Structure 1
Amino acid sequence: MDNFLPIAYFQEKFVPFAEANISIATHALHYGTGAFGGMRGLPNPQNPREILLFRLDRHCQRLSQSAQFLHYELPAEQIQKAITEFVHQNQPQNPFYIRPFVYTSDLGIAPRLHKIEKSFFIYGIELGDYLSPDGVSCRISSWLRQEDRSLPLRGKISGAYITSSLAKTEAVESGFDEAILMNTQGKVSEASGMNIFVIRQGRIFTPPTDQDILEGITRDSLIQLARDIGLEVVERPIDKSELIIADEVFLSGTAAKVTPVKRVENFVLPSNNPLTQKLRDKLTAITENRDPTYQDWTFPISLD
């Protein structure tokens, strides 16, 4: 692919992306002992020499917390400083996605987190819409979301995403765009890499954090936005049958942004999505720094 940003942060320095390579014996490659973040950036529509990052502080904080699960002390301030310089180095001209990654970088075969070297890198890629903004079809996955008692689901641990990968491929190969995973209690958890919201009779429902979901930053933002504009948001367990009779269903995430669900299995949902569209428009205005109420959610970086 030729849309990767040209410069990566690797081994505590900035190098050409093509030179940022790891050994085939890297510990994290074999055991999934890594954790990642993801955030979007875009040129400010009012000032193309300025890049806007959405909720950079929260993303850095979450990655720092994810690193703790790997016994890696990586302060959020250090991550933020590296990301800011990463943007300066690349001078992006189009919307893009940043992928910071922490991992066990030693060469070895013993699965462990103690007495092993850890490292941190960053790369980026130009990115438009990850999912169709017109809506997606979803199947209920045969794979269940993991439980927090087996994996630390408060972090984006790389090894956990085998389940997401299996679910996504199962969905696509059976004619759907995306997968919805249930948890081990039989309740709706999340999609392959997104949180999920259900709207019924003007009220918004979403699974709470005790339903083995990722604590999504876009999810958190949308809950606050909805409440700020007078919508009721209820965090509670959601049954599969509620997806079928919902007025609206949408997915949320850094890559997916706000994406309406138009079909669940063989049940077609209403084509009119007024509240989903309202929240999507509101979030877009904030990420483009057009809403002064939420200016502290956008982190500007001057390219000059």
Structure 2
Amino acid sequence: MHKFLPIAYFQNQFLPFDDAKISIATHALHYGTGAFGGLRGIPDPQNPEQILLFRLDRHCKRLSDSAKYLHYDLPADKIKTIIVEFVKKNQVKTSFYIRPFIYTSDLGIAPRLHKIEKDFFVYGLELGDYLSPEGVSCRISSWYRQADHSLPLRGKISGAYITSSLAKTEAVESGFDEALLMNAQGKICEASGMNIFMVRNGQLITPGYDQDILEGITRDSILTLAKDLGIPTIERPVDKSELFIADEAFLSGTAAKITPIKRIENYELSKTRPITEKLRDKITAITENRDPNYQDWVYVVPLG
């Protein structure tokens, strides 16, 4: 059972979460014409009277860009102001997840984006580990990732997540924790809601933006950190057969953080993961505001 935060932002006001309701005729509910973001908040380990948000500006910019696909002008600065106020009003004392959502709020039945009302809401829930930090098992999904020429994959468009849902359920119901999707060219591109990395011969490898992936913020952070740590990195297409013999592999995302992959199909991966652990330790230190070199990645919200 999810434990939702008590206050939501809905229809231009803050109100109790239980009072934030939409109609069953809401346009976005029928056509997937929404776009969402997701970011974590954690109490500052050094000062529990303030909350730390990881790369808030980047999250707000991506959501503002996603809104453009829906023909909706929602400036990143406005999103940021609302999220900061949302955090202050909820006075959260544990790790939590923030879900901002843009959607077509009209009650019409024609699938369109022009001449239709849009709206924006924010809610949150307490959230610990989304996936096991000890590692997950993955299967190659029978469902393929959509192509950018059919959907704007650089936005987190809600309707696109039917593929993620199909893939995740297929994986879990067949005995795995997570699904890996291939693109139309038969290359591994991402998981159901996460980017993927592998390590071969000391080199960190991940599919590039030309492989129909989401422009992940955690992914971008990992590539920056790897270069700063002197880990050779490359963005290129990834074959399924490479993953089976990878030295290390892991998933990345706001909810998943950095989660090791321990098995892909019937291929066991090594339990020794030096590069994965180095990156995970580094990003954990940054999100907890313990690394002075990356303090600009952490936004501090005082609760007092």
Same fold (TM over 0.5): yes
Q: CA deviation at 1:241?
A: 0.3
Give SS of 1:141's match: strand
Residue in structure 2 matched with residue 189 of structure 1 by the alignment: 189
Cα RMSD over matched residues?
Answer: 0.5
Residue in structure 2 matched with residue 262 of structure 1 by the alignment: 262
Residue in structure 2 matched with residue 53 of structure 1 by the alignment: 53
Give SS of 1:227's match: helix
Distance 2:177 2:128 in 1: 17
Q: CA deviation at 1:274?
A: 1.0
- Asked if 1:242 is matched to 2:242, the reply is yes
Residue in structure 1 matched with residue 233 of structure 2 by the alignment: 233
Name structure 2 gaps, 5 residues minimum.
Answer: none
The aligned amino acid for 1:285 is: A
Regions of 4+ moved over 2 Å = none
Note the alpha carbon deviations across 1:41-77, whole angstroms, 9 max, x for none.
0010000000000000000000000000000000000
Distance 1:108 1:197 in 2: 42
Distance 1:222 1:206 in 2: 10
| Aligned residues with identical type, % of pairs | 73
Distance 1:275 1:229 in 2: 10
Q: CA deviation at 1:2?
A: 5.4
Residue in structure 2 matched with residue 156 of structure 1 by the alignment: 156
**CA contact 2:136–2:261 (8 Å) conserved in 1:** yes
Closer/same/farther in 2, CA of residues 301 and 139 from structure 1, 3 Å limit: same
Give 1:62-141 correspondences, 5 Å limit: 62-141=62-141
Residue in structure 2 matched with residue 222 of structure 1 by the alignment: 222
Distance 1:178 1:149 in 2: 26
**CA contact 2:2–2:125 (8 Å) conserved in 1:** no
Name structure 1 gaps, 5 residues minimum.
Answer: none
Distance 1:76 1:265 in 2: 41
Distance 1:36 1:67 in 2: 9
Distance 1:233 1:219 in 2: 12
The aligned amino acid for 1:165 is: S
Residue in structure 1 matched with residue 165 of structure 2 by the alignment: 165
Give SS of 1:280's match: helix
Distance 2:11 2:234 in 1: 44
Residue in structure 1 matched with residue 27 of structure 2 by the alignment: 27
TM-score by length of 2: 1.00
Distance 2:176 2:243 in 1: 16
Distance 1:41 1:59 in 2: 12
